[in-house]
Amino acid sequence: MLVLGVHSGWQDAGAAVFDGYRLLAAAPLARLSGVAHDGGRLPVEAIAECLDIAHVRAGDIGGLALSQGLFPGRHFRALSLSRRVGRGLRSLLGRDTPISLLDEARKHHRSSPESLLDLGMLAGDLGLNRHIPVRVFDRHTAHALLALTAAPWADDTLVFTADSSGCIARVLKYGRLATLTGDEADTAETDSPGRLVDLAVDGLGLPDAAALFALSAHASANGGEPVLAEAFKAHVTVDAQGRIVTDFSAEGGAARWLRRLAEGQPPALVAASLGKLLVDRFAEAIQVLLDRQMLRRVALGGPLLADPVLLQQLQQTLGDGIAVAVHAAPDETALPLGGALALLQQQDGLETFLRQRRPLQAAAWGRDYSADLDPVLGNAGCRMVSRDPLRAAAALLNAGKVIAIGEGRGIGASGGMTRTILFAGGDADAVATVNARLDRPAFLPPVLYASREALTDLLPAWRDPAVAAALAPRWAPQLPAAARHPLRAEAVEAGQQPVLHGLLEAYKSLSWLPALLGLPMQIGSEPALDAPSDLLRLLRDGRVDYIVTDQAVWERAT
């Protein structure tokens, strides 16, 4: 059955299409609009993009999964006559605003928010069959099912999810997935750990939570002490049931307290202290829950558990006796995927879901632009440097040049694998230099690309692409840029990334080094770049020196 997942949040929105448990396409609205964290409405453009990529029609969709997000007023059943008339007038004037389903459910004391929507009308307005099954999912259910796609276990597993609204723990045992602590209705406490992260991001002027975590890791790697961590911990505790409890009532609320605490302090110190708080309290809560359930396995999901360095520290704190699986989604763009899985799990049952689930962390979401890159670059007047792309690009990288590579399908949790900006690690300042060219903070860490065999030597502790690992000391003289950062690594497979794999082999034969570094194809806080026009922009603006495709190496016209 073809399933369409849709998320329409305030800051992120997007869609995904599955054929059973196989992901066909997914697209965040921000990628199509060019507006970072675009949301606040139904992502009709993202839906159309996914249908087009998947080569299916709206009428072919057999199930619709909707997040508890924002919807036009006409889709609500319980609006009073005066509200309907008022919203109708605003709609005619082009001033209509969407309504939060969760806010409306709280207003009407509804435990089942979907009962407030005319789901048949909504499906019809999206061009779907009005009578298809529709499931309204909550975000923590989506995060939990995504976490289970990364776990190899079918029982005896703690499932722990954390985002800006709070934390929820579930247990997979005896063929059931049961909630232990929290639920979607009561995780929206004002001063949750996720709320502290949001406040710190805004207060420090950072683009997103990923930058906050990167700053925290940079501070720790350079000897910065999280001296404010104990002040945080005084207000954030873990109870006997494994719930993370916050109390800032005596301080006038978390926002006021955090502002006073951080005043005059270096941003890196605040970030490191908050990172320390999250690691310690998450580890404590998870350990309490594991002990109470007599389990030794945990599956993690949600944006607050997506940072590679935080995961590395969390695993170290939990110890080797705890098996950890992670679906690392740094924001809400993966929610449509989890929502589609929620519909399938509800329809097929948990046993079938566990049997047929597939890992989604490395799934490519968007279009394959490979065949379009060379014509676009050539028609734009770019100059072809070589028709032997692998050897030519390897020589340029060895000479210190910065190269963008567009291969296969991009966008998504690991979209950087095929949409990345590559450079060599021989210059200690290379990461900061390339970040500066991209208008990104200098401390944002790179990804280390190498073959699976090479990674075991480069990063002895490497096990999971979602978790950071430290470079082996003996490689530090050859790769000083990599030695300065905790690294997330990607194992490059010849069958999946032939251009990148061939480039690594050519670079190794030239330099004797088995790895390259990469940064996301992103300028400033803009959405991730992906299309041929994006690569052309990188070249024209001097963000990169060259572009490599499977056919040629290109430079901008002089």
Helix (H, G, I), strand (E, B) or coil at 19: strand
Query: At a CB cut-off of 8 Å and minimum separation 6, what does 442 contact?
Result: 431, 432, 435, 436
Q: Does 528 share its domain with 425?
A: yes
377 compared with 84, residue with greater pLDDT = 377
Residue 13 lies in a domain: yes
pLDDT given for residue 90 in this prediction: 66
- The model's pLDDT over 244-264, given as tens digits with 9 standing for 90+, comes to 999 998 888 999 999 999 888
242: left (phi over 0), alpha (psi -120 to 50) or beta: left
Residue 353 lies in a domain: no
Q: Does 232 share its domain with 193?
A: yes
* Residue where a domain terminates, one of 137, 157, 188: 137
Q: Which of 139, 256, 265, 271 has its CA nearest to residue 200?
A: 271
For residues 238 and 246, give the distance between their C-alpha atoms in angstroms, rounded to a whole number: 9
At residue 168, φ and ψ (nearest 5 deg) are -135, 135
Which CATH number do you get for residue 389?
3.90.870.20
Residue 21 lies in a domain: yes
Indicate the helix (H) or strand (E) that contains 458.
helix 452-458
First to last CA, the chain: 52
Whether the pLDDT of residue 171 is over 90: the answer is: yes
Q: Does 127 share its domain with 145?
A: no
The tokens of 51 are what?
Answer: 């249908």
* H and E: helices and strands count for the chain: 21, 22
pLDDT given for residue 547 in this prediction: 96
* Widest pairwise Cα distance in the chain: 74
Q: Does 132 share its domain with 148?
A: no
* Residue where a domain terminates, one of 103, 137, 171: 137
| Contact predicate 346/63, CB 8 Å | no
**Stated pTM of the model:** 0.92
pLDDT given for residue 109 in this prediction: 77
Q: If you count them, how many residues does the chain have? A: 558
Q: Does 75 share its domain with 206?
A: no
- Rounded to the nearest 10 degrees, the angle between the axes of helix 139-150 and helix 335-348 is 80
pLDDT given for residue 159 in this prediction: 98
- Dihedral sign for Cα 284, 289, 292, 298, please: negative
Whether the pLDDT of residue 550 is over 60: the answer is: yes
| Contact predicate 526/36, CB 8 Å | yes
| Contact predicate 488/466, CB 8 Å | yes
- The model's pLDDT over 389-443, given as tens digits with 9 standing for 90+, comes to 999 999 999 999 999 998 777 655 444 445 789 999 999 999 999 999 999 988 8
Q: Does 315 share its domain with 179?
A: yes
Q: Does 129 share its domain with 144?
A: no
Whether the pLDDT of residue 104 is over 70: the answer is: yes
Q: Does 325 share its domain with 455?
A: no
Domain membership of residue 385 as a residue range? 370-555
Q: How many domains does the chain have?
A: 3
